[in-house]
Amino acid sequence: MRKKIEQKRHGVNSPLDALCGAVAEGRDAVRVTGLHGSSRALVIAGLFRRLKRTLLAVTPSVREAEDLVRDISFFLDSGEVLLHAPWDVRLLSSDEIISLQQDTIVARTRVLTRLLAGGPLVVVAPVESLLQRVMPLSVLGDYLETITPGIRLDRDGFVRKLLAGGYQRVSLVEEPGEFSVRGFILDIFSPAENRPVRIEFYGDDVESMRWFDPQTQRSLKEASSFITAPAGEIVVTEASQRNALQRLRQRAAELGVPKQRRDALADFIESGVVPAAAMQFLPLYYGEPGSGEEGPAGAPDTLLDYMPGGGITAFLDPSDIESAEKDMREHIDGFIERAHEEERFFMDPSSLFVSLDHVMRTCGEGRRLFFDEFRGDRDRRSFHFSTEPQVGLKSTVPHAREEGDGLLAPFAERVRAWTEAGVLVVFLATGDELRHVNRLFQAYSLPAEQAERSFFPELEHAAAGGRLLLMEGSVSEGFFSDSLKLALVCGEDLFGKKIRRRRRIAPREGYFLKSFGELKEGDFVVHMDHGIGIYRGLKRLSAAGIDNDFLLLEYVGGDRLYLPVDRLDQVQRYIGPDGFTPPVDRLGGTSWEMVKKRVKESIRKIAEDLVALYASREVM
């Protein structure tokens, strides 16, 4: 009985229990209002923890999705929270085959694999990602394979399967979606796992498996099993490759794509090696929805098709989500118009995206939540949480300075008022910051306790009456909730946001990555080591059994340099006066080194002049 009273006093039961009950019934949509800061993440985490059902949270933007993932991960185990990021819609107007989104695609595949496995988890998706079609559920299900020691596994056939699933064959496995073969040792980093595994074969028998550290390459503990998932959403089979070629030619003819581009794309598909990030070609391999020409695996599905029965879908700021969809459609129309003008190949957007109306119809009425900051019409399916943002010193610091009471005096008074009212005050910071803040609180006679458990267990074990609790962690923004009897304060609420030093990026890298989509054959480029050359296009080569994309750069005398696409940071587009043709350097020559030497000397001279100028000003 005492435990129930304590839990209700700290808001673990009353408002959250009522909301959980309404969602569990699943008859009608539920509206939640009044939540600010990270309190939305708290309520979502509470729903997931109570109901043990998969929950999909939809946000208007990628940045809001990333903040929500970070906040929910604080309240829950971070392994239970995943981000389903969107692929770059700018690919719509590009027929270049370059894997610049490998990390995003691998993370998307991990989400689909976890959803298909059926275990409860929280998936956060910006609306752009929710509206993008994904690989058919049946294709992913057929590809997944559990490997255990002692089984018989056709090693050569397994390697072919990895290549068909978008894996990259490398010499050293460091990232998800990579594998390597060294004699009877096969290393693989499956997107379904958190670390790579090292398989030792004896013939075609799996003799042993061990996890290993991708940074040190050292073997760790034995692996009892691991799941092989595709590295991307395109799985190349004979049937899907044949269908892709047929649809490519048909679509290219409809668009009037020049023969040179059409043949280049056909050669790419016939090679059987598809970069995992080539998401703009997804309908080629699986068919266009509603066209009646779906392949053997069917047309692409949506993220909602992967949601298990009883799953919950939460929409954060529905009006902003609608605006985000409108903006996305306008961007897509712009990319398509540009592709028409440049006679580029592209798929019909309806084969790659669904509408928000389609999403709402798919969700149905049951187990839908709509989060709005402001209270609307009240009914039995509406739940209002009274919360306030900005619980720190932002509005009280000037007053404190005038009276000379100390910087923390206004906050100390607020904490006392909260604890006297039975509110649990949780202060979040890093380890070093917590020790510093604890000393400050002691100076204001505020008794603070160190948290011994994670967030929800601390709430459930909270003693009757208010208290101040110090906990390691961070959220995007704190809040105070009278209905939950909880105040969550983070260091940034109290002292302001820290100014983080931005990583300095060399101008060549920033400009090149921004302008690469506009790079055309015949353009002048600058390599940081070899100087000015001419870009001659993108080539796919095979070396030591490993296929990769290379930029072909031509220098004086017809010398050629093949640069792997993962070394884009070594090249930038040449920038010079209009109409000026720069001299091309000789590969391995000394002219470029002389140019760099002269530039360094000029920079040093300018620096010396500036130092002398500042010194003279100090004397004056």
CATH of the domain at 423: 3.40.50.11140
Q: In the Cβ-directed half-sphere of 62, how many Cα atoms lie within 13 Å?
A: 9
Phi-psi bin for 558: left (phi > 0), alpha (psi -120 to 50), beta?
left
Are 122 and 14 within one domain?
yes
Are 127 and 191 within one domain?
no
Are 527 and 565 within one domain?
yes
Are 446 and 391 within one domain?
yes
Answer yes or no: is pLDDT of 104 > 90.
no
Are 354 and 298 in contact by the 8 Å Cβ rule? The answer is no
Last residue of a domain, one of 324, 353, 384: 384
- Other residues' Cβ atoms within 10 Å of the Cβ of residue 504: 6
Tell me, yes or no, whether 331 lies in a domain.
yes
620 — pLDDT class (breaks 50, 70, 90): very low
Tell me, yes or no, whether 83 lies in a domain.
yes
* Tokens coding 60: 């208007």
- Other residues' Cβ atoms within 10 Å of the Cβ of residue 443: 10
Tell me, yes or no, whether 542 lies in a domain.
yes
Are 378 and 398 within one domain?
no
Answer yes or no: is pLDDT of 95 > 80.
no
How many structural domains is the chain composed of? 4
DSSP designation for 194: S
CATH of the domain at 168: 3.30.2060.10
Are 391 and 365 within one domain?
no
| 3-state secondary structure string across 512-530 | HHHHHHHCCCCCEEEECCC
Last residue of a domain, one of 170, 205, 228: 228
Mean pLDDT of 201-210: 92
Our CA angle for 87, 90, 94, nearest 5°, is: 115
Are 15 and 134 within one domain?
yes
pTM of the model: 0.74
Are 323 and 359 within one domain?
yes
Tell me, yes or no, whether 293 lies in a domain.
no
SS3 call for 328: helix
* Tokens coding 162: 């990895």
pLDDT digits (tens, 9 = 90+) for 150-175: 999 999 999 999 999 989 888 889 99
Domain that holds residue 42: 10-138+298-384
Are 413 and 457 within one domain?
yes
**Distance separating alpha carbons of residues 251 and 346, to the nearest angstrom:** 8
CA atoms 461, 467, 469, 475: torsion sign? positive
pLDDT digits (tens, 9 = 90+) for 407-460: 678 888 888 888 888 888 888 887 777 788 888 888 888 888 888 778 887 777
Pairing state between β 81-83 and 122-126:
parallel
Are 63 and 129 within one domain?
yes
Cα 399 to its chain centre, rounded Å, is 42
* Tokens coding 579: 């109409």
Percent of the chain with pLDDT over 70: 80
Last residue of a domain, one of 356, 384, 412: 384
CATH of the domain at 582: 2.40.10.170
pLDDT digits (tens, 9 = 90+) for 296-312: 455 688 999 999 888 89
12 — pLDDT class (breaks 50, 70, 90): very low
Tell me, yes or no, whether 425 lies in a domain.
yes
Tell me, yes or no, whether 267 lies in a domain.
no
pLDDT digits (tens, 9 = 90+) for 285-341: 887 555 545 444 556 889 999 998 888 999 999 999 999 999 999 988 888 888 888
Tell me, yes or no, whether 4 lies in a domain.
no
**Distance separating alpha carbons of residues 395 and 492, to the nearest angstrom:** 14
* Tokens coding 187: 């290393």
pLDDT digits (tens, 9 = 90+) for 345-394: 888 888 889 999 999 888 865 678 999 877 655 555 788 888 887 665 55
Are 44 and 149 within one domain?
no
Are 371 and 402 within one domain?
no
